[in-house]
Structure 1
Amino acid sequence: MGYRWVVLCVGALAQGTNAAVFLGLPAISPQLQQHFSLTLPQVGLLLGAVNLGTMIALVPWGVVADRRGERLVMTIGGLGAAGCLLSVALGNAWIAGLALFAAGLFGASVNAASGRAVMSWFSSGSRGLAMGVRQTATPLGAALTAAVLPGIAISAGVPTAFVALAGVTAFVALAVALLVREPPGAVRASADHGMILKDPRLLRLSLASGLLVVPQFTATALLVPLLHGHRGMSVTAAAAVFGVAQALGGAGRLAVGVWSDRVRNRIGPLKIVSIITAAGFVLVAVLDQAPLPLLIAVVAPTSVFALCWNGLAVTEAGELAPEGRSATAIAMQNSANYLSAATTPFLASFVAVHVAWPAAMVLAAAAAVTARVLLQPWRSLRASSPQNSRSVS
């Protein structure tokens, strides 16, 4: 096995471990509420601290990764996040909130730096698949955490659950320190990063990505409430539909990555997925009161398409960057995603409850259509970029 696959595996493991914190912790919301004596909205604020810290730190970590290398960044970030998670286990609600905010600040290092590692080791012809593997680690890490962490929290207590998360995070950080290195001839940035951050195509891609997170997190936040609370399906069956959609969405990230490699284009598939997602949410809105099997037959694949596109946008962001600056570009693109991820669940839920469920679905569709419009005037520079012709094995 080529060393590049070792880098990919370790990078994906780091990505999945980071997702265990910002996507997996909601699985123990009831235990957090009881342990810290919080209301449900207060638990939401507690968990949102991770996303806030991540959003703030993404671009600075990306700049450091481009200048100092991904191994240093992911190691320091991982060990720092582990220490913060350990602090959650030792403190009260206020300390937990600050510690989770700090865990987001440190954990943000993984998002940009692991992407840079993949960009460095894989050429354009296989980068879509590689980034798809990396992105698939996010829902898989969240799913595994959701399956394991509640049992630990219930049987051994919330502090033990955070100790376990801290231990896994520290272990992965050490694996990064031992196993990840840059390819021969890797370029590090030594000048101002303002040029890439002001690139109008990167700004447009970032905005489009943030808009596509709206249907993605609408599906994530509202699928179970839609089927269970709104349509009366059992919570177990609704959760099963949610789980299947998440698993297929993860597999879809691999599929669209391979697709983009074969057509040697990231934006073309991203445009198509955007339109299919928009059409799916419009259909869900129309079928709001349709027979339940018919609604499920539409909402499940719509959720899959809403979940599968991330690798395309991340890869395009890295390929837009001048050589040696991919981490900064990926961090810029991810910042818009985290901002949208932090606001969409509340906004979508508010519209569903206080306006109408179909209105929330139409809002998600409108965001996907707007993203598609932003991606329309796109011309790829991939063929002429030295970074995108690199091939390392």
Structure 2
Amino acid sequence: MAGRYRWVVLGVGAVAQGTNAAVFLGLPALTPQLREFFHLSLPQVGLLLGAVNLGTMLTLVSWGALADRRGERVVMTVGGVGAAACLALAAGGHVVVAGLALFGAGVFGASVNAASGRAVMSWFTADRRGLAMGIRQTATPLGAALAAVVLPVVAANAGVPAAFLVLSAFTGIVALAIAVFIREPAGAVRATRSQGVVLRDRRLIRLSVASGLLVVPQFTAAALMVELLHEHRGLAVGAASGLFAVAQVLGGAGRLGAGVWSDAVRSRVGPLRVITVVVAVGFVLSAVLVEAPVWLLAVVLVPTTALAVCWNGLAVTAAAEMAPEGSSGTALGMQNSANYLSATITPALAGWVAVSVSWPAALLLAAVAAVAARMLLRESALGYPSTPVRVKQ
């Protein structure tokens, strides 16, 4: 039963992860409609969308530490209910209220990022963990892709507030599923070391900074892809959103493939290094092709966006495996905090660069961030073992 039940935990955790991603990655597909509804400029809508990431960033470590001490179910259930309430509040129609509500959705949604990863780490051994975490992380781009398809249609037919209410309802349903189905394995280890010991680990710090840098290309694409293809190159908004959804689906498949790859080579960081280099090259090519025929730009930009998505599961798994026993929630919170700090800044920064400098400059900024991440992931500097470490919960 325990062998089968771990797939239940993984399934519920993946759905929760995908639902949360529909908020922080799927909402950018509404960028043109949010701009019109709230009367915002491109940098301003970037700040609005960044509110989710700011709320998440500020609370990830706390949620992770709480999961290490109290378990995943209570943390994820409380967080899911709170996020659903905030998303309902965002439907009120005032931009300030919406910004505060999205900040709150990020605060409560952070529980899923920290605790669902800990749950998967608890139920799967090292030789299957890359696959399991790959499945969990695949739910992020898939949730974003589904939101990118559904939310613009809902907003076009029923208004932007209705799109927020759809997200709220689904988030609440997932919170109920968490309360019913999630539990810890027998003999689960709770945290025995202080939170500070985890946060001072130099390997985790380096990995976290590298992860934050890799979020720059990921969120540059998330924030600007639809706007670039629609506003700058004249592609219909439906077609641009559809290409964004395709990129997210491909990125999800890439996360799964990267997890299997890491299990096969018994290394998380090795495949991460390779992906980082290819992402940098893809964004350089995209910058060069900004004014090329739109089909050619799309041929390069779509797989580049997918690659910018597919690395995350490797970094998450590596962070959890580096953690002291019983403290993977805190380690995941730390690693994800760097991601969300970058995700908070990147949409507004990339939008400002695109408007004030040029579209190629915004894409080249993403490439530079990927190169910097690769430098931090040097084997001699990171000191991460070539084989997965012992099971940590």
**TM-score normalised by the chain length of structure 2:** 0.90
- Aligned equivalent of 1:387: 391
TM alignment of 1:141-152, pairs within 5 A: 141-152=143-154
Give, in whole Å, the separation in 2 of the partners of 1:288 and 1:28.
22
| Secondary structure of the corresponding residue to residue 174 of structure 1 | helix
Give deviations 1:165-221, integer Å, cap 9, x for gaps: 222212211111111111111100144111111111100001101111111122223
Give, in whole Å, the separation in 1 of the partners of 2:251 and 2:150.
21
Q: Give the drift of 1:340.
A: 1.0
- Inter-CA distance 107–340: structure 2 relative to 1 (3 Å threshold): same
| More off after superposition, 316-325 vs 242-251 | 242-251
| Secondary structure of the corresponding residue to residue 144 of structure 1 | helix
- Aligned equivalent of 2:333: 331
Give, in whole Å, the separation in 1 of the partners of 2:24 and 2:266.
32
| More off after superposition, 353-362 vs 168-177 | 353-362
* Letter paired with 2:376: L
CA contact (8 A) 2:267 2:387 kept: no
Give deviations 1:197-249, integer Å, cap 9, x for gaps: 11111000011011111111222233334444444555454444333222111
CA contact (8 A) 2:25 2:222 kept: no
CA contact (8 A) 2:67 2:329 kept: yes
Give, in whole Å, the separation in 2 of the partners of 1:312 and 1:233.
34
- Aligned equivalent of 1:139: 141
- Aligned equivalent of 2:257: 255
RMSD: 2.5
Give deviations 1:95-116, integer Å, cap 9, x for gaps: 3332222221111100000000
Identity of aligned residues (%): 65
CA contact (8 A) 1:278 1:368 kept: yes
Which runs of 5 or more residues in structure 2 are unaligned?
none
CA contact (8 A) 1:322 1:387 kept: no
Give, in whole Å, the separation in 2 of the partners of 1:78 and 1:233.
36
Give, in whole Å, the separation in 2 of the partners of 1:311 and 1:109.
17
- Inter-CA distance 115–240: structure 2 relative to 1 (3 Å threshold): same
Which runs of 5 or more residues in structure 1 are unaligned?
none
Give, in whole Å, the separation in 1 of the partners of 2:47 and 2:229.
25
Give, in whole Å, the separation in 1 of the partners of 2:39 and 2:290.
34
- Inter-CA distance 169–241: structure 2 relative to 1 (3 Å threshold): closer
* Letter paired with 1:387: V
Give deviations 1:44-94, integer Å, cap 9, x for gaps: 433322211111110100100001101110011111212222333457443
- Inter-CA distance 360–75: structure 2 relative to 1 (3 Å threshold): same
TM alignment of 1:246-285, pairs within 5 A: 246-285=248-287
| Secondary structure of the corresponding residue to residue 386 of structure 1 | coil
Say which of 160, 164, 176 aligns to 2:178.
176
Give, in whole Å, the separation in 2 of the partners of 1:102 and 1:34.
23
TM alignment of 1:162-311, pairs within 5 A: 162-311=164-313
Give, in whole Å, the separation in 1 of the partners of 2:12 and 2:149.
22
Give, in whole Å, the separation in 1 of the partners of 2:354 and 2:88.
37
Give, in whole Å, the separation in 2 of the partners of 1:122 and 1:96.
39
| Secondary structure of the corresponding residue to residue 391 of structure 2 | helix
- Inter-CA distance 365–154: structure 2 relative to 1 (3 Å threshold): closer
CA contact (8 A) 1:277 1:302 kept: yes
Give, in whole Å, the separation in 2 of the partners of 1:28 and 1:361.
21
Give, in whole Å, the separation in 2 of the partners of 1:301 and 1:87.
36
- Inter-CA distance 381–187: structure 2 relative to 1 (3 Å threshold): farther
Give, in whole Å, the separation in 1 of the partners of 2:45 and 2:363.
26
* Letter paired with 1:379: G
- Aligned equivalent of 1:361: 363
- Aligned equivalent of 1:39: 40
Give, in whole Å, the separation in 2 of the partners of 1:293 and 1:156.
31
Equivalent residue pairs, number: 388
- Aligned equivalent of 1:71: 73
Give deviations 1:293-325, integer Å, cap 9, x for gaps: 444333332222111101000110111101111
Give, in whole Å, the separation in 1 of the partners of 2:366 and 2:163.
34
- Aligned equivalent of 1:129: 131
1:55 paired with 2:64, answer no
* Letter paired with 1:16: G
